[in-house]
A = this chain, B = another copy of it.
Amino acid sequence: MSPERMRREKRATIEDVARVAGVGRQTVSRALNDKAEIAPETRQRVLAAVAELGYRPNAMARGMRTQRSDVIGLVVSDIANPFYPAVARGVYDAAQDAGCSVVLYNTDADPVRERGALEDLLARSARGVVGFFYGTAESVLGEYAKSISLVVADRVLTDPAMRSVSNDFATGTRAAVARLLGRGHRDLGMLDSSVGVALDERRSAFLEACAEAGLGNLSARVVQGAPSIDGGLAASRTLLAGFPQVDGIFAFNDLMGIGAVRAALELGRAVPADCAVVGFDDLPMSALIHPPLTTVRIDKYGHGQALVRTLLTEEPQRLVLPVTLIGRATA
């Protein structure tokens, strides 16, 4: 075979369909797009020709003419991070329902990559973008939002024109603190994420809840780390070394929480007796580790769906999804 791989004959165009159906191009277009009035009989003839030729409209030609495509961009920091796959599935299913395709972007929270994703989507005349932008200033996102439909996930926004779907981190955090307190743990500490802008809802709520409970200002006991198992491990070691009396840890997310459990165990502490841990997210793995992690569940799939639905609804909107404390063994 030649170096050029053999391809099937060229795809049928709208012109071919028109010829076979014995009508004009425009009539075919009308039949396909349910536009205006067409004689039912004519429509049938067109549809028959479409089926016969196996015709499918060329997405790029259509997009070129209409100046928009049915593409929705999904921007995440890393799809391999177990938090995102369920969100992605929700985004996909909702996009599918709306007849849209999903283009994936991994940014590693890098501002350059985040912009790159937005630029790429602009170049494709995308229907819109949803995603987690941890590295880009709100003002920049706002600029892009003028050119492309954008719904931001999990960020506190000040511009009322920008749309977002977030989770109720404040309530979740308070529930986590209450859980720790209710189980008799009075010396709390927190593992916070060191990456990402506008991600301080959890820390603020933690500090407030602790102050309200008469624990004083615990700022010193909030230690930052990468939002990963290793990051949680390292941060926990730091926390427990600096404050050996800490007997309850609230983690930014489950990955850090899992690291905290491991760190506590390594230090010979009983979990939860000597050191309780509450995470955030409720990852698939969190129920399986030993001991099973108490956490605040985010409806990741629903989050994904809500992002797309908000995107497709043009009105400005600010959605906050409810979260649920899932009590397991670590607290």
Residues of A within 8 A of B (CB): 1, 3, 5-8, 11, 56-61, 63-64, 69, 71, 74, 78-82, 84-86, 88-89, 92-93, 101-106, 119-120, 122-125, 143, 146-147, 149, 161, 258, 284-285, 288-290, 301, 314
Docked-complex contact B103 and A102, CB < 8 angstroms? yes
Closest 6 CB pairs of A and B: A290-B290, A285-B285, A80-B89, A8-B147, A60-B63, A8-B146
**B56 close to A122 (CB less than 8 A):** yes
Q: Are B92 and A106 in contact (CB under 8 A)?
A: yes
CB distance from A142 to the nearest CB of B (A): 11
Q: How far is the CB of A180 from chain B (nearest CB, A)?
A: 22
Contact call A58/B123, Cβ cutoff below 8 A: yes
CB distance from A259 to the nearest CB of B (A): 11
Closest residue on chain B to residue A56 by CB atoms? B123
The dominant DSSP class at the A interface is mixed
Contact of A85 among B56, B60, B84, B122 (CB under 8 A): B84
Contact check, A88 vs B61: say whether CB atoms are below 8 A apart. Answer: no
How far does the Cβ of A27 sit from chain B's closest Cβ, in whole Å? Answer: 21
Q: Bound state CA distance, A209 and B314, in angstroms?
A: 60
Give the CA-CA distance A288 to B124 in the complex, in Å: 41
Give the Cβ gap from A239 to chain B, nearest Cβ, in Å: 21
Inter-chain contact B85/A79, CB cutoff 8 Å: yes
Instruction: Give the distance in Å from the alpha carbon of A178 to the alpha carbon of B104 in the complex.
Output: 40
Chain B residues whose CB sits within 8 angstroms of the CB of A258 once the complex forms: 288
- Residue from the list B6, B71, B80 in contact with A86, Cβ < 8 A: B80
* Distance of A176 Cα from B123 Cα, bound (Å): 49
